[in-house]
Amino acid sequence: DSPYVEMHDEEYDDGDARTMSPRRGSEETEKMGEEARQALVRQTKAIKETLLKVGDCVESLKSEHEKFEDGNRFLQAYVPYLDTHANFSLLATLNRYVGELIQTRKSPPGRRERPSEDRTSE
């Protein structure tokens, strides 16, 4: 297209490398295709195995999660029960202890008895 470039049709000898085609024969092409198919089959099997392992891990984690959820629900129901009963038990123990103190007029453990003057002033 350019006025400065001239096109020349050149002819090359049969032995010239520029005349040799890089094309492959059908036999070589078939061999390469079969190798590629086998490689794809191997890769597919490896991917399937990996996915199965991942699926097993997910199922295992799901099972463990469900166990923890069940335990959590149990504890959420049990803790208020413990609080209620522990408070009643504590109150009963304190009432019994205070009642004993009043009846025997003893000081609580770990405290010294008041001097006798303090008792008479009550």
Residue-wise pLDDT for 35-92, tens only, equals 999 999 999 999 999 999 999 999 999 999 999 998 888 888 878 877 777 777 777 7
Contact (CB, 8 A) for 77 and 70: no
Q: How confident is the model at residue 122, as a pLDDT?
A: 46
Long-range contacts of 111-120, Cβ-Cβ distance < 8 Å, separation of 24 or more? none
Q: What percent of the chain has pLDDT over 70?
A: 77
Among all chains, which residue has been given the structure tokens 């003893």? Answer: 106
Distance CA 30, CA 32 (A): 5
E strands present in the chain: none
Distance CA 81, CA 87 (A): 10
Whether the per-residue pLDDT at 113 is higher than 90: the answer is: no
The two three-digit tokens of residue 12, written as one number: 């090359």
Alpha carbons within 13 A on the beta-carbon side of 7: 4
